[in-house]
């Protein structure tokens, strides 16, 4: 039997079993081509480059991701500069252990948020042709979540540093 797929009026990809001229049975409905079952019994369900990437240790993927993020997004250099200034001020102010933990968590959340936003944007660019409205909505929601995280982490760090800097300025 011949298996084929087509996109119906609602934008769902439908898999049809059987020759086109007979009453074909409708199989599974999917939102994209990757969700269709693989008809080749000998084929791996994971593409070869992805399978090779999954076999690597996590830290090598993380280092390559950090390198790629700094190459693709110039805002990360700015955030790294701000992190260095923040940590220098924290050293001068002799913060307590709890304050150090909060400052480090805030700086890490700020830079991690930029990494996350970059990954969301990359996925959005890759998936945009398949479903532009849904991808745009997902990228906007992801950007809003990252912006909230980054704003709150910056506010926590600002409160801690202001608590120590204001007495010195008066």
The rounded mean pLDDT for the chain is 77
144 near 117, Cβ under 8 Å?
no
Is the same domain home to 38 and 89?
A: no
Token digits of residue 34: 């990757």
SS3 of residue 165 by DSSP: helix
Is the same domain home to 33 and 77?
A: no
How does 29-57 read in b/e, with b if 16+ C-beta sit within 10 Å?
Answer: eeeeeeebeeeeeeeeeeeeeeeeeeeee
Mean pLDDT in residue range 87-98: 92
Is the same domain home to 48 and 69?
A: no
Give the confidence band of 91 by pLDDT, cuts at 50, 70, 90: very high
Is the same domain home to 113 and 156?
A: yes
Is the same domain home to 11 and 36?
A: yes
> Around Cβ 147, how many Cβ atoms within 10 Å?
12
Q: State the residue range of the domain holding 126.
A: 58-169
- The C-alpha atoms of residue 159 and residue 151 are separated, in whole angstroms, by 12
According to the model, what pLDDT value does residue 21 have?
A: 47
pLDDT in tens, 27-70: 444 444 445 555 555 555 656 666 666 666 777 878 888 888 88
Q: What is the DSSP letter of 38?
A: P
Is the same domain home to 79 and 116?
A: yes
Is the same domain home to 105 and 146?
A: yes
Is the same domain home to 96 and 143?
A: yes
Domain count for the chain, please give it. 2
According to the model, what pLDDT value does residue 160 have?
A: 93
Mean pLDDT in residue range 159-169: 91
According to the model, what pLDDT value does residue 155 have?
A: 94
Mean pLDDT in residue range 122-142: 84
| This prediction's pTM | 0.60
Residue 114 pLDDT greater than 70, yes or no = yes
């Amino acid at each position: 039997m011949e298996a084929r797929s087509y996109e119906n009026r609602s934008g769902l990809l439908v898999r049809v079993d059987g020759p086109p001229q007979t009453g074909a049975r409708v199989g599974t409905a999917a939102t994209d081509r990757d969700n269709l079952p693989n008809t080749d019994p000998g084929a791996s369900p994971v593409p070869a480059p992805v399978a090779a990437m999954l076999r690597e240790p996590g830290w090598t993927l993380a280092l390559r991701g950090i390198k790629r993020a700094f190459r693709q997004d110039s805002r990360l250099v700015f955030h790294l500069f701000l992190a260095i200034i923040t940590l220098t001020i924290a050293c001068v102010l002799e913060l307590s252990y709890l304050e150090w933990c909060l400052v480090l968590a805030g700086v890490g959340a700020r830079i991690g948020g930029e990494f996350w936003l970059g990954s969301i944007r990359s996925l959005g660019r890759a998936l945009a042709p398949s479903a532009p409205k849904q991808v745009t909505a997902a990228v906007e929601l992801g950007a809003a979540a990252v912006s909230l995280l980054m704003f709150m982490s910056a506010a926590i760090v600002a409160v801690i540093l202001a608590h120590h800097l204001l007495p010195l300025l008066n």
